[in-house]
Amino acid sequence: MADYLAASTNTTATQEPKTSSIYVTKGTMTWLVHQYYQSGTWKALRETTQKPRKNILKKFLNQYGKIPYSSLTQAQARKIRDKQADTPDAANNLMKALSAVFEFAKEYGHRDDNPIRGIGKLKSKRKGGHVAWSVNQVRQFEEHHPIGTKPRLALALLLYTGQRRSDIVKLGRQHERDGWLYFRQQKTDAEMSIPIFRELREVFR
C-alpha cells in the first residue's frame, strides 16, 4: 500500500531539517504528523491523550510515513484500517488518531478535506464491556486485602467516589477538606466535591 501510494503521485520531495537532526521529507505523512505535534491543537491535548495517540501514530508512520499525505483517499485509508481487522479496537483507534491529524491539516490549509471522516468503526470483539463484580466478590477482595494495603484503598476509592481510574490514582489526603474530597477531573476538567463516607473513612487514613 505504501509503495502504491508513493508511486501514484508525481510530487517532488524536498528535505527539511528537524531540530533532532533527522531529515523529514516535506509532503509526507511523517512531515504532516510532525507539523501536527507542533500545533496548538496538539499542545492543548492532555498528556493522557497525547501519549497513547503518539504511540499509535508512531506505528503508523513506521509503515506509511513516506506516503504523500495529499494523495491519501478515503478508500485507501479504509484499506489501511481493514488490515487491522483482527484487532478492531486498535484499527478504530488508528482511524481516530488519523482523523485528528487530517482535521489539523484541513484547518491549517494542508488539505481541503479530511479523508478519514465517514469511515465507520469496526465492530469490537469485546462483548458486554467490563464484568461487574458481585457483592460477594467485593467482600472476597476485602478479606484478601486488609485495611492499610494499597489494593484495599484503591477499591474503596473506586466504590465510594465512582471516579475514573485516571482520577483515582491521584486522589489523596491533599484533596481532603472538612470531610470532603475536592479535586478537578482530569478528562472533563470539572471541579468535583465528594463526601467521604464512613466506609471510605475507615480505609482512607
- Per-residue tens of pLDDT for the chain, all 205 residues: 656 555 655 444 444 444 444 568 899 999 999 999 999 999 999 888 899 999 999 999 999 999 999 999 999 999 999 999 999 999 999 999 999 999 999 999 999 999 999 999 998 877 766 788 899 999 999 999 999 999 999 999 999 999 988 889 888 889 999 999 999 998 888 899 999 999 999 988 7
Distances (CA, A) of 166 to 7, 21, 89, 137, 185: 44, 35, 20, 23, 8
Task: Give the whole-angstrom CA distance, residue 59 versus residue 78.
Answer: 17
The confidence score (pLDDT) of residue 101 equals 97
Helix (H) or strand (E) holding 4: helix 2-7
The confidence score (pLDDT) of residue 173 equals 87
Place of cell 491533599: 174
In contact, 72 and 56? CB cutoff 8 Å: no
Helix (H) or strand (E) holding 14: strand 14-17
Q: With 0.75 as the threshold, say if the pTM is over it.
A: no
How many residues belong to the chain?
205
The confidence score (pLDDT) of residue 46 equals 85
In contact, 14 and 26? CB cutoff 8 Å: yes
The confidence score (pLDDT) of residue 145 equals 94
The confidence score (pLDDT) of residue 11 equals 45
The confidence score (pLDDT) of residue 1 equals 60
Place of cell 469490537: 124
In a 3-state reduction of DSSP, which class is residue 16? Answer: strand
The confidence score (pLDDT) of residue 12 equals 43
